[in-house]
Structure 1
Amino acid sequence: MYFHAGQDFVLNTRDVIGVFDLDTAGASRRTEEYFRSAEDNGAVVDLCAPGSLPKSFLVTDFPDETIYISQLSPVALKKRAEKAELK
Structure 2
Amino acid sequence: MFIHLGGEKIIRASELIAIFDLSIEKSSKVSKQFVTYASKEKRVEVIGEEESKSLVVTQSKVYYSPISSMTLKKRAHQLLTT
TM range (shorter): 0.7 to 0.9
Query: Aligned residue for 1:60?
Result: 58
The share of aligned pairs that are identical, in percent, is 28
The alignment's TM-score, normalised by the length of structure 1, stands at 0.82
Displaced runs of 4 or more, over 3 A:
none
CA RMSD of aligned residues (A): 1.3
Q: Secondary structure at the match of 1:26?
A: helix
Residue deviations 1:63-83, cap 9 Å, x none?
Answer: x3x101101011110122233
Query: Aligned residue for 2:77?
Result: 82
Question: Is 1:70 the equivalent of 2:65?
Answer: yes
Residue deviations 1:3-32, cap 9 Å, x none?
Answer: 111111111111100000111x11211111
- Give aligned pairs, total: 80
Residue deviations 1:13-67, cap 9 Å, x none?
Answer: 11100000111x11211111111111110000111x32x2111111111xx3x10
**Structure-2 separation of matches of 1:10 and 1:84:** 14
Unaligned runs of 5+ residues in structure 1 are: none
